[in-house]
Chains A and B, each alone.
Chain A
């Protein structure tokens, strides 16, 4: 279970850290006025500072008791968290596998895994859909629109 407050704080920290990263790296480009006008780092510095300031405000609102946040204490329940993970973890694994086995194998494996493993669909149906997906991708992208999808290190190893 994740409380609304925890989620607000985590998000504020996330946006704030991005802001800090923007501020820090904006110093590489020069700040202020030079012969060429406003220096390249100025605008990023400004946006970075705004992000940090805004995130601090949101963080404070998340930490301080009261306010509108108190009315919705729970943001994500345990069941919801499980459903979220059920969608996101396989998707992340799928993306992680693309450089190794390529888009086609990864997508087939992904579809098969999410349909067959939790027994949402019968084995046969899952297998059929798992095979149909890369086929459809191949026809639409490599054939119709001439976009080469990554074939992966595995295919390269086989010399494909």
Chain B
């Protein structure tokens, strides 16, 4: 009950004219970056970040989170109308969304997607409302060993459940850690890993990395596949919207199951992309009409969309209550929190009640604003897709360059951003996951500090990580997740001796057409 009171108080903060205006701006900008290939939620949010430095933290987070919701919705628009996923997390929506739109039911496809997305987001926000403060309360008792164990669990779940090749995930994570270590060491004060470049003493800002990895990297991937924006009609038939939304409850089981998958993947940092693929795969396996998936099935839209938004929303739960972001975009937002002088983690629920509950309340309102705006603006943004890519691409390059420069007025940042772009392209091309890399850059320092403080407490004994039941179970769960891919591989080899191993179709298949069995196998 206390939570509900806090929430009501939160609404009085979130539902004010300036904040509603910020939500509308955020959502519209979000839809814009969601629609444009090459700009996604992570860099949209990091581009906006420098502009929020002068704002109140609660206003700033409302702007950034609204942008996130907008981007999640915007990604689905292009998936359905153009078969071009504007966001990695909406790739699975193209499988059934585009065929349905092509068959002359674009409004049904869009309304189904938005309706189920809103449902997923709602479940995520309700979860945060009731669980976040409880988790934070538990976390208040955490010492450095517990914190390190939670970080470890978070990183291990990327390896165990992220869906990418485990060793590639490990390499991506370790690179992120190394980048996080560049600059002044917070514990000893010594300068690390600058490799002779004096300017690196200030460290590598995560915004620079995100701009390059997601911005330039995605642009390079996009330019390679020539775009054919042969969209279907984007006119919205409001009666059809109503009919599609009314029909949604018939798929109640799919909705609930997908929301559950999404929340789980959002809280344990699997992220929205993995969630939507997993949800689609499971729906396809369990649906009575599973054979028809890929031809415009309603549940083929509901499942990835619900999970995508449930994951995107609930990714903020661990960010707020533990200081561990559940997705790349949440990682960027958390970086913002630190810049605004807040300390993400359980103390927020004690010191910054207005901020936390203002944000949570704004998530309810923001998602409603997002659904309304995205439906109203579909034709406008669909028209945007018809601007030739040759014009959009250089503009995005300029935005990334200026964005990287404006972080700390440094030319070196711009050069590094371009370098990160090449890395981002290579990683995307070869299915190295980018989210764990960004996550490690943002919280690598904190994880390292937690480890070193634990070691100081125990005078160098690793036994501190097995000192009480809580920390032991966290560490063991982390180890289990870390070893999960290996165990699966061994089990598979045992079961089918002599057969060539092909257990990890992995994300390699994700971009191939869904007609193959790939989508059902990908999630792990």
A121 closest partner in B (C-beta) = B391
Q: Are B51 and A145 in contact (CB under 8 A)?
A: yes
Q: Are A87 and B393 in contact (CB under 8 A)?
A: yes
Chain B neighbourhood of A8, CB < 8 A = 430
B488 at the interface (CB under 8 A from A): no
B470 at the interface (CB under 8 A from A): no
A99 at the interface (CB under 8 A from B): yes
Chain B neighbourhood of A98, CB < 8 A = 401, 411, 414
- Given A48-B178, A115-B391, A54 and B418 touching (CB < 8 A)? no
Q: With the chains together, A76 CA to B430 CA distance in Å?
A: 11
Encode A36-70 as 1/0 by CB contact (under 8 A) with B: 11111101100110110011011000000010100
Q: Are A37 and B455 in contact (CB under 8 A)?
A: yes
Q: With the chains together, A87 CA to B422 CA distance in Å?
A: 12
A105 at the interface (CB under 8 A from B): no
Q: With the chains together, A4 CA to B409 CA distance in Å?
A: 38
Q: Are B223 and A38 in contact (CB under 8 A)?
A: no
Chain B neighbourhood of A22, CB < 8 A = 178, 193
Q: Are B170 and A54 in contact (CB under 8 A)?
A: yes
A15 at the interface (CB under 8 A from B): yes
A135 at the interface (CB under 8 A from B): no
Chain A neighbourhood of B418, CB < 8 A = 91-92, 95
Q: With the chains together, A95 CA to B421 CA distance in Å?
A: 13
Encode B395-425 as 1/0 by CB contact (under 8 A) with A: 1011001100110010100110010001101
Shortest CB–CB separation between residue A65 and chain B, in angstroms? 12
Q: Are B401 and A94 in contact (CB under 8 A)?
A: yes
Q: Are B388 and A50 in contact (CB under 8 A)?
A: no
Q: With the chains together, A29 CA to B167 CA distance in Å?
A: 28
Residue among B223, B226, B388 facing the most chain A CB atoms (10 A cut-off): B223
Q: Are A68 and B406 in contact (CB under 8 A)?
A: no
| A64-105 with Cβ < 8 A to chain B | 66, 68, 72, 75-76, 80, 83-84, 86-88, 90-92, 94-95, 98-99, 103
B438 at the interface (CB under 8 A from A): no
Q: A47 contacts which of B178, B225, B426, B432 (Cβ < 8 Å)?
A: B178
Q: With the chains together, A33 CA to B188 CA distance in Å?
A: 13
- Given A58-B167, A98-B411, A129-B391, A103 and B192 touching (CB < 8 A)? no
Chain A at the B interface: mostly helix, strand, loop or mixed?
helix
Chain A neighbourhood of B394, CB < 8 A = 90-91, 110-111, 114-115
Q: Are B415 and A43 in contact (CB under 8 A)?
A: no
Residue pairs across A and B with CB atoms within 8 Å: the count is: 172
Chain B neighbourhood of A84, CB < 8 A = 220, 223-224, 425
| B317-343 with Cβ < 8 A to chain A | none
B502 at the interface (CB under 8 A from A): yes
Q: With the chains together, A120 CA to B390 CA distance in Å?
A: 8
Q: With the chains together, A115 CA to B185 CA distance in Å?
A: 46
Shortest CB–CB separation between residue A129 and chain B, in angstroms? 7
Q: A147 contacts which of B401, B406, B427, B460 (Cβ < 8 Å)?
A: B406
Chain A neighbourhood of B415, CB < 8 A = 95
Q: Can you show 11 pairs from A to B with CB atoms below 8 A apart? A: A7-B426, A37-B187, A37-B452, A37-B460, A40-B190, A43-B181, A43-B448, A75-B429, A84-B425, A88-B422, A145-B406
Q: With the chains together, A141 CA to B174 CA distance in Å?
A: 35
Q: B171 contacts which of A15, A110, A120 (Cβ < 8 Å)?
A: A15
Q: With the chains together, A117 CA to B149 CA distance in Å?
A: 56
Q: Are B391 and A87 in contact (CB under 8 A)?
A: no
Give the size category of B's interface with A: 35 or more
Encode B243-282 as 1/0 by CB contact (under 8 A) with A: 0000000000000000000000000000000000000000
Shortest CB–CB separation between residue A55 and chain B, in angstroms? 6
Chain B neighbourhood of A14, CB < 8 A = 423, 426
A72 closest partner in B (C-beta) = B508
Residue among B178, B405, B429, B432 facing the most chain A CB atoms (10 A cut-off): B178
Chain A neighbourhood of B51, CB < 8 A = 145
Chain B neighbourhood of A94, CB < 8 A = 397-398, 401
- Given A11-B426, A54-B174, A25 and B195 touching (CB < 8 A)? yes
Beyond A76-B429, A137-B402, 9 additional pairs, beta carbon < 8 A: A11-B430, A25-B192, A29-B185, A29-B192, A37-B452, A47-B175, A54-B174, A99-B411, A114-B390
B105 at the interface (CB under 8 A from A): no
Q: Are B508 and A86 in contact (CB under 8 A)?
A: no
Residue among A10, A25, A39, A133 facing the most chain B CB atoms (10 A cut-off): A25
Shortest CB–CB separation between residue B167 and chain A, in angstroms? 5
Q: Are A39 and B219 in contact (CB under 8 A)?
A: no
B373 at the interface (CB under 8 A from A): no
Q: Are B190 and A37 in contact (CB under 8 A)?
A: no
Encode B498-523 as 1/0 by CB contact (under 8 A) with A: 00101011101000000000000000
Q: Are A150 and B411 in contact (CB under 8 A)?
A: yes
Chain B neighbourhood of A129, CB < 8 A = 391
Shortest CB–CB separation between residue B117 and chain A, in angstroms? 31
Q: Are A44 and B390 in contact (CB under 8 A)?
A: no
Encode A132-153 as 1/0 by CB contact (under 8 A) with B: 0100010001000101111000
Residue among B50, B170, B388, B401 facing the most chain A CB atoms (10 A cut-off): B401
Chain B neighbourhood of A38, CB < 8 A = 451-452, 455-456, 460
Chain A neighbourhood of B190, CB < 8 A = 29, 40
Q: Are B175 and A51 in contact (CB under 8 A)?
A: yes
Q: With the chains together, A103 CA to B402 CA distance in Å?
A: 8
Q: Are B402 and A149 in contact (CB under 8 A)?
A: yes
Q: Are B414 and A95 in contact (CB under 8 A)?
A: yes
B216 at the interface (CB under 8 A from A): yes
Q: Are A120 and B388 in contact (CB under 8 A)?
A: yes
